Chains A and B, each alone.
Chain A
Amino acid sequence: MKHIKNFRPLVLAAILVVTSAAAVVCGLVMKGQLQKYLGGYDDKWAIAVPFLMLRDDTDWQRMLAAKNAPPAPDPEPEPDPEPEPEPEPEPEPDPEPPVVVTNAVYGQDESFFDDALFIGDSRMVNVANYARLGNADYFADVGMTVFKMFSTTASDKSFGSTDLGSLLQSRQYSHIFVMLGLNEAGYPLGNLFDTYRSDLEQLRQLQPDATIYILKVYGVTADVAAGNPSLAHSRLTAVNQGFADLADGDRIRCLDSDVLFCGEDGFMLPEYTGDGVHPYGKFACLFSQWLCEQITRGK
């Protein structure tokens, strides 16, 4: 290469090379720490890791907590996700459950939900926009997870931007419906369930008179699941089983919303969705109708 007399044209390139080297070193160190204390991140480029942490530092905080925690005994191995169950023989159909609640009839009398709160991610945003129930409040945000339930801010028709703790301290709810789990399905299940349990306990403390309903995660389309192992049917089944175990059947109940929009194989049916994850607006009412039926039957 000929001797370059004028270095000025190379200033921008030099800046990028130096900063890239720094970012790579920083990324390698951070990735190493995350892999050591949390696991995962094998498929992430080292240079991307600092930016991923800038965007959402949940994992970095978890890593620091794990790093600073006292040594623990060897943890039990992560239980494998439950295999697909053998198809059971058709059971005898149960007799139609009696009507227990009369003011949860979709489109007619939805007053049951007038003092209800719905908490959720983008799927709940969809319901809030297209199929609201009664005068319920909806605390929902795109990307919400159990890890960020109390740090996220959201707004709705009857309240401005606020965090969940402040909202629960300012209002009284008789029923709280929580639909989360899709965005965090790739996290270690033990950690996911522990955090959710802690969130539920916090909800109970702030709203001791409310009945809390955990809504199971319904699936995504087969195409989406094929491209993302954390959204595979078996994975979501394991997540939902863990959610069911969090319920006590009394103040904390679990509803089987995993059947919504899905076929018998557990995958979301393509005709309900444009992106394989979120139902079209015109189908959001199916969730609300289904929920009314569950409440009416005393679930």
Chain B
Amino acid sequence: MGFNTLPFVFIFLPLFLAAFYLTPARWRTVVLCLGSLTFYVIGVWKRPWCLAPLLGLAVLVYLLGLRMRPRKSRGLLILGLTALFGCLFFFKYAGLLGLGVTLPLAISFYSFQLAAYLIDVYRGRVPAERKPLLFFTGVLLFPKLLSGPLMDPLSLHEQLSGPLRPVPEDFDSGLRDFILGLSMKVLLANQIGGLWRQVGNIGYESVSTPLAWMGIVAYSLQLYLDFCGYSWMALGLGRMLGLRLPRNFEHPYAARSMQDFWRRWHISLSSWFRDYVYIPLGGSREGTARTYLNLLAVWVLTGLWHGSTLNFLLWGLLLFVLIALERAGWGRVLERSRLVSRVYMVLMIPMSWMLFAIPSVSQIGVYLGRLFPIVSRGIAVNAGDWLQYGRQYGWLLALGIVLSTPGPEKLWNRIRSTWLGTVILAALFWACIYCMSAAANDPFMYFSF
């Protein structure tokens, strides 16, 4: 049950919020825990076995945390991380091995959240959570359970330790962020994504070069607006409950280098890899060669986290190469010239997402051949296809590009809480419901990770 479904918006959320707000503050964590569990159960109704890894791993990490002595219980840490990543690896790659097992919902996120907790308890940064209610609420917290953001365990601990007492302003602000995120997903991402779907339906070998570029730009915008929209919805839901979830995107398409891009895109995941992989490996403190090795480890793991097919590994390796080149000197060129950095990023962002979007390596080759038709002329290419789809999607692409820049958010923040903002949000809400009414199955793109 995604946030952008009618059952969630009109049944689960109102009932949950009513139960939450009608409950005395000291019991609200119970409501939150039970509500989050219910949310997950509904989501895996057709695959109830998905509960087993979630609850099993959560119970294991809880017990290990209780037994752990900071900096001393290395064995327990290794045991916990082995269980977490072993499960994740098994389910990610079981499909490739033909075992017929599908990926449990949200396993990539909750396994990382649990690992962060365990590591921080080992480091002594976070006290082991003794109260099972608070621990499981932190794990199951439905605004972030399915696709993040990954939360700092210390922040989670501090926020859940006291009674939850959101004020009306929290509720209102959260509701506004929720509607904004819903609009990004339903009104923009889904519509723009139609162009990428069309390109796939036509077949990559039959699209013209302009349409191939339009298609990959559409995918880039769809991915950003879909995931950013989800993240805003998660933030909004958390705020309605009196919780502060971290922001996950900071206008990544305004970045001037890939290093900058990945400080702005899926910030919670990048932070996780920085804090629990890159820095423990030595970061940039162990010399140049070791720094590059550490970066390679981070980006290979990032690629593998996103998917088990070869294209994700290639995607991670491409990002490593680009970031390594930037560190080696190319980054200084980008800093000095805004024009060069813009051209570089306008090319590299869609190219990197192309590896991300197309699972088959041979099809990646076909698509590259359409982007740069030096050797390949395609098959049954309709030379005027880009005009037809340009008329249909051009304004959406332009709107998506504009909304990816920082300017609109600054403008929005000025009217967000005014009567104009209220009217706009009410209109956006019903526009979303209109689109959602006709959509059959519309999962968030990051639900597949």
Q: A-facing mask of B174-198, CB < 8 A → 1, else 0?
A: 0110000000000000000000010
Complex alpha-carbon distance, A283 and B422, angstroms: 50
Q: Which B residues lie within 8 Å of A274 (CB)?
A: 200-203
Q: What's the nearest-Cβ distance from chain B to residue A132, in Å?
A: 9
Q: Select B176's contact among A12, A52, A285, beta carbons within 8 Å.
A: A12
A281:B206 contact, CB within 8 angstroms: yes
Q: Select B385's contact among A13, A52, A129, A283, beta carbons within 8 Å.
A: A129
A15:B380 contact, CB within 8 angstroms: no
Counting contact residues on chain A (CB < 8 A from B), the size range is 35 or more
Which residues in chain A, 1-57, are within 8 Å of chain B measured between CB atoms?
Answer: 1, 4, 6-7, 9-13, 15-16, 19-20, 23-24, 45, 47-49, 51-52, 54-55
B203:A19 contact, CB within 8 angstroms: no
Q: Which A residues lie within 8 Å of B10 (CB)?
A: 20, 24, 45, 47
Q: Which B residues lie within 8 Å of A282 (CB)?
A: 203, 205-206, 379-380
Q: Does B6 contact A (CB under 8 A)?
A: yes
Q: Select B422's contact among A6, A11, A20, A54, beta carbons within 8 Å.
A: A11
Complex alpha-carbon distance, A20 and B430, angstroms: 9
A13:B175 contact, CB within 8 angstroms: yes
Q: Which B residues lie within 8 Å of A51 (CB)?
A: 433-434, 437-438
Q: What's the nearest-Cβ distance from chain B to residue A9, in Å?
A: 4
A12:B206 contact, CB within 8 angstroms: no
Q: Does B21 contact A (CB under 8 A)?
A: yes
Instruction: Report the nearest B residue to A129, measured CB to CB.
Output: B382
Q: Which B residues lie within 8 Å of A11 (CB)?
A: 172, 422
Complex alpha-carbon distance, A205 and B301, angstroms: 68
Q: Does B276 contact A (CB under 8 A)?
A: no
Which residues in chain B, 342-387, are within 8 Å of chain A measured between CB atoms?
Answer: 379-382, 385
Q: Which A residues lie within 8 Å of B176 (CB)?
A: 12
Complex alpha-carbon distance, A231 and B175, angstroms: 40
B202:A280 contact, CB within 8 angstroms: yes
A55:B206 contact, CB within 8 angstroms: no
Q: Does A147 contact B (CB under 8 A)?
A: no
Complex alpha-carbon distance, A174 and B382, angstroms: 27
A130:B206 contact, CB within 8 angstroms: yes
Instruction: Report the nearest A residue to B382, measured CB to CB.
Output: A129
Q: Which A residues lie within 8 Å of B169 (CB)?
A: 9
Q: Is the interface of A mostly helix, strand, loop or mixed?
A: helix
Q: Does B93 contact A (CB under 8 A)?
A: no
Which residues in chain A, 266-293, are within 8 Å of chain B measured between CB atoms?
Answer: 273-275, 278, 280-285
A55:B200 contact, CB within 8 angstroms: no
B438:A55 contact, CB within 8 angstroms: yes
A275:B197 contact, CB within 8 angstroms: yes
B203:A280 contact, CB within 8 angstroms: yes
Q: A-facing mask of B146-177, CB < 8 A → 1, else 0?
A: 00000000000000000000001101110110
B433:A12 contact, CB within 8 angstroms: no
B203:A1 contact, CB within 8 angstroms: no
Q: Which A residues lie within 8 Å of B206 (CB)?
A: 130, 280-282
Complex alpha-carbon distance, A6 and B169, angstroms: 9
Known: A45-B6, A55-B434, A275-B197. A10 touches B172 (CB 8 A): yes
Q: Select B21's contact among A1, A16, A52, beta carbons within 8 Å.
A: A1
Which residues in chain A, 83-114, are within 8 Å of chain B measured between CB atoms?
Answer: none
Q: What's the nearest-Cβ distance from chain B to residue A148, in Å?
A: 16
Q: Does B22 contact A (CB under 8 A)?
A: yes
B382:A281 contact, CB within 8 angstroms: yes
Q: What's the nearest-Cβ distance from chain B to residue A143, in Å?
A: 11
Instruction: Report the nearest A residue to B11, measured CB to CB.
Output: A45
Known: A274-B200, A274-B201, A280-B206. A12 touches B438 (CB 8 A): no
Q: Does B429 contact A (CB under 8 A)?
A: yes
Q: Does B415 contact A (CB under 8 A)?
A: no
Instruction: Report the nearest B residue to A272, measured CB to CB.
Output: B203
Q: Select B171's contact among A13, A129, A278, beta carbons within 8 Å.
A: A13
Complex alpha-carbon distance, A285 and B381, angstroms: 12
Q: Does A220 contact B (CB under 8 A)?
A: no
Q: What's the nearest-Cβ distance from chain A to residue B104, in Å?
A: 22
Complex alpha-carbon distance, A54 and B435, angstroms: 11
A12:B168 contact, CB within 8 angstroms: no
Which residues in chain A, 196-214, are within 8 Å of chain B measured between CB atoms?
Answer: none
Complex alpha-carbon distance, A281 and B199, angstroms: 10
Q: Select A130's contact among B6, B21, B382, B430, beta carbons within 8 Å.
A: B382
Complex alpha-carbon distance, A130 and B330, angstroms: 44
Q: What's the nearest-Cβ distance from chain A to residue B302, in Å?
A: 28
Complex alpha-carbon distance, A47 and B9, angstroms: 11
Q: Does A232 contact B (CB under 8 A)?
A: no
A278:B426 contact, CB within 8 angstroms: no
Which residues in chain A, 139-174, are within 8 Å of chain B measured between CB atoms?
Answer: none
Q: Does B425 contact A (CB under 8 A)?
A: yes
Which A residues lie at the B interface, using CB under 8 A?
Answer: 1, 4, 6-7, 9-13, 15-16, 19-20, 23-24, 45, 47-49, 51-52, 54-55, 129-131, 273-275, 278, 280-285
Closest 7 CB pairs of A and B: A281-B206, A280-B203, A48-B437, A9-B172, A51-B437, A9-B168, A281-B202
With A54-B434, A280-B202, A282-B205 already in contact, 19 other A-B pairs whose C-beta atoms are closer than 8 Å:
A1-B21, A11-B422, A12-B422, A15-B426, A19-B430, A24-B10, A45-B6, A45-B437, A47-B433, A51-B433, A51-B437, A55-B434, A55-B438, A130-B382, A273-B201, A274-B202, A280-B203, A281-B381, A282-B206
| A to B CB contacts below 8 Å, 5 in the list | A47-B6, A48-B433, A52-B438, A55-B434, A281-B202
